[in-house]
Every structure is written in structure tokens, then in C-alpha cells.
Amino acid sequence: MTATVVSKIPQGGMTNALGILPGGTGAYLVNRTGTASSIVVHGYDAASGTWTKYPGTTPGDGVVVVAGAIDPASRIYYYAALGTGTTTTPGKVTVYGFNTQTNTAIPGVIATFDLPITSRFSANGDIAFDASGNLYIVTSANSSNNAAIGVVPGPLPTTGSATGVALTDTLLTTINNPQQRQYNGIAFNNNGELFIEFSSPAPSTATFLQAVNPNNGALIGQAKQLSDTTFASVDLGACSTNPTLTPQKNIAGRFATSTTSNDQFELSITGGGISSGNTATTTGTTTGVQSPAAGPSSAWRTRRTR
């Protein structure tokens, strides 16, 4: 795969946590020097090709931000620091926010959740949002064979607090990683495929993209190496989101009027490894479009039944 330079990020510190606005109109990332007084959000305007610095929410000294993405619904830029766990407990993810419509930081902590791996080593990783506002996270641990993808149901909170809202991260899949690769990027394409990015351990600068089924975490085909090996890539972002299905039943007339009768309809979305949030059953006696809906679910290789 061929990498092409679009713009060079302003110098200063170490930038990471790339998030791209819907339609590719702009991008945001964080200067992650680890110094409390120097957390900066860099905003990129695709129309003018210019970068602007904004004050970000201060996570504290030594906190390293590595993950970032923009929720396509709220257009909030979320960025996160990944904590270190133990051999039996996962590290904690701490999420912060930045309003891309006003270009102002959201005070406080947005949310926290557990990493989908347990390791006593420092964690690397990235986040991405699907079209429904669910957060996907890929992570690996330094000097460890652990790597995994998890999903946090959305939408995420849009305001912060002292400790943030505790969210639940569900393991989507574990990834065998005996090479101790750094999994540090995740994003959707417009076909609904999820891509994760990983780089070989130093001193190698080889970076790879791997397609993933977002419904069950199954790896699709072989990983593809990027053509540019000048530096190992450390993040991944995209302006596209996955297509989704949300079928609802439009009832023109009912045979029975009793709410206890079997005059209802079951909806389901199947295929492609979907296993949750994909069914619904109508209720009541009204006609027209019914409010119970199956999904939304990723439309990647799915089929609708009724």
C-alpha cells in the first residue's frame, strides 16, 4: 500500500491521537509531551491547509495520550491515555474531549473504562467510532504477547467531570502477538471494514494494515505493508464511517387487536458475525411504522430478514 504526504504536523513535542472530521474537512491531534502545562490540541483545516494550536484539557504530569478519534454524530474529538495494569487486572483508559465546532476543550474527564487486555507493561493503542457512536479500541502491551480489540457502547458523554463516567468495554477479539508488535491504529473505511494498524518492534520501521470484521473481530485476509518505511506509523484515522442497518416494520393493518395475541413481527439482522443488538419484536396494536427496531448494526456482509 502506498502512503502519500498530505501535510506536515507542526513541530514541538510528540503528536499522536489523530482524529479526522466527517468528510475529511479537518483533523485534530494532541501534542503529548507529558508535561501538564503543555497539553496542546492541533487543529488542521483541509480547505486552507493550515494548522492551529488550541489549549487542551490537562490530564496531568507524565500522562501520555496515544489514542484519538472524532465521533461523527457529536463531532467531539475524544482523546485518551492508556494506563498500565497488572498481570491479572487491565489498565484504565481515561478519555478527554475537545469541541471541534467551537474549538474549545471540554473541562474534566469524559469517561473511563478498562482495557480489553491485562498486562503489567505500558499499553499502546488507538480508538475509532462507528456510525452509531460506539467506540472501538485496539491495544497492545509493550514487551508482551497481548493484543486485543474491544468495543464500548455509545454514545459517549459530551461533558466532563472530576472522575468521568465509568463505561464498559467488551472484548471483541484477542490477537496472537508473539512478535510483540505495536498495535497503534484503528479506523473504518466506507465499506464498513475495520482496519487496524501495527508496526514491527524497533529498530524496524515497517508498518502494516490489517482488515477486521467489526462484528466479531475476525481478521480478514493478510496484513498489507505500507510502502513508506522512513518511520514506523503511530496512528490511524479516517473520515468515513461504517454503513449500518436499522430495519423497522411498517404495519398497514392488523389481523388481531389484542396486545396479548400473536399479531406481532420479529425483526433480525443476521450474517457477518453479528451476535448482539440485532433483533427486535413489535408490540401493541397500532399501525404504521413501529418504534422497535433491530440494530443499528454494521452492514458489513449482513442480510436482513423479517
Q: Is the pTM of this model over 0.85?
A: no
DSSP for residue 287 = -
**What are the cell numbers at 206?**
515497517
Task: Give me the pLDDT at residue 305, please.
Answer: 39
- Strands 279-281, 65-70: pairing is unpaired
Task: Give me the pLDDT at residue 303, please.
Answer: 39
User: Mean per-residue pLDDT for 182-200?
Assistant: 89
Cα–Cα dist 191/253, whole Å: 37
Cα–Cα dist 168/236, whole Å: 23
3-state secondary structure of 23: helix
Task: Give me the pLDDT at residue 256, please.
Answer: 62
Cα–Cα dist 27/18, whole Å: 7
Cα–Cα distances in Å, from 124 out to 8, 108, 224? Answer: 23, 23, 20
Question: Does position 232 have pLDDT exceeding 60, yes or no?
Answer: yes
User: Mean per-residue pLDDT for 36-58?
Assistant: 86
Whether 199 contacts 208, CB under 8 Å: yes
Cα–Cα dist 265/282, whole Å: 5
Whether 78 contacts 28, CB under 8 Å: no
> What DSSP string describes 36-99?
GGG-EEEEEETTTTEEEEEE-----TT--EEEEEE-TTT-EEEEEEE----SSSEEEEEEEEEE
Q: What percent of the chain has pLDDT over 70?
A: 84
**What are the cell numbers at 290?**
413501529
User: Mean per-residue pLDDT for 133-147?
Assistant: 88
Cα–Cα dist 32/177, whole Å: 26
Mean pLDDT of the residues in the chain: 83
Question: Does position 258 have pLDDT exceeding 70, yes or no?
Answer: no
Question: Phi and psi dihedrals of 81, rounded to 5?
Answer: -105, 135
Buried b (16+ CB within 10 A) or exposed e, 100-117: beeeebbeebbbbbbbbb
Q: Which residue has better confidence, 238 or 297?
A: 238
Task: Give me the pLDDT at residue 306, please.
Answer: 40
Cα–Cα dist 221/151, whole Å: 22
Question: Does position 297 have pLDDT exceeding 90, yes or no?
Answer: no
User: Mean per-residue pLDDT for 232-247?
Assistant: 75
Task: Give me the pLDDT at residue 226, please.
Answer: 82
